Amino acid sequence: MSEFPSPQVLFDLRLVWYFTVVAEYRHFRRAAEALHTTQPSLSRQIRRLEQQLGTRLFERTPHGNHLTQAGEVFLPLATALLHRADQAAAHTRAAARPDRITVGYTPGFIITAAVRALRRQHPGAEVATRHLAVPDRPRALLDHRVDALVTRLPFATDGLEVTPLYDEPRVLLVPLEHRLAGRESVTLDDIADEPLPKVRGCDPMVSAFWRIDPRPDGRPAPDGPLAETTEDLIELAATGQAVFITVAAGPVRPDLTAIPLEGVEPSRVVLATRARDRNPLVAAFRAHARAHLTGRDPTGPPRSLQRRTDG
């Protein structure tokens, strides 16, 4: 008897992938078009998977294809299985290439100094950089699209190692004619009734931090208009429809002013990496980030003049 017993079911991951696509479209023809295959071929692949599992996954009707109860149970497990397979491949490739690193960064950050220092220290290494959208941060690390990431808290840190780099005070962005414009500083009491915009699809943790919602006394932050982008937030502040909490950066346009916001924790800039990552280049970049990414870019203007608007 083998000391490595075979699993009861051996999945072809392509069949699992086909299943998730059909489950998304709820229609074999549209799923086949998305997969660049034919409907009869896709139907055969799904029947093969159903035979392996010993149960039907779809109810086929003239109005579409619906998941059976078994299909509903299998869908999240299939999605997780595909994700774990991607992770396994990425971990294996990373172990085989200890001379390679991809450094990620989110909007507003300049990482040039630390990247240059790493390349000088390891001239034979392949050092790449990658710009990421804010919502993509933890997943990009866990999926091995980047190996290190310069960004701001808050975000989910499960499975990650977070190294603080520096803090940035938060400020209130208002138009020049606003009642608070010209003040040396403001407090949460000063803006207790000022509406704060929400960004569509924003992570609730991130939204709560930048809106300071709820307030220390438990009251919710007043809701302002819904925004889609950072540019929308700036325009809402400029037209007086809402105030906008961001980081100390100086005005991003001449009709706006930034007022220091007292009594709130600052925004923390960090370097995030995967926990227990053994790539020596990750440890080396961490050291260079601590040395060079301290809140001022030596190749450009002071950070107080750079546009910084994550909130």
The pair of three-digit structure tokens given for residue 98, joined into one six-digit string:
């200890």
Contact 152, 269 (CB under 8 A): yes
Place of tokens 């392509």: 14
Task: Spell out the per-residue pLDDT of the chain, length 311, in tens.
Answer: 456 555 656 778 889 999 999 998 888 888 888 888 899 999 999 999 998 888 999 998 777 788 999 999 999 999 888 888 877 766 666 665 668 999 999 988 999 999 999 999 999 999 999 999 888 888 899 888 999 999 999 999 999 999 999 999 999 999 999 999 999 999 999 999 999 999 988 889 999 999 999 999 999 999 999 998 888 999 999 999 999 999 986 557 899 999 999 999 999 999 999 998 889 999 999 999 999 998 754 444 333 333 333 44
Place of tokens 């040395």: 291
pTM here is 0.66
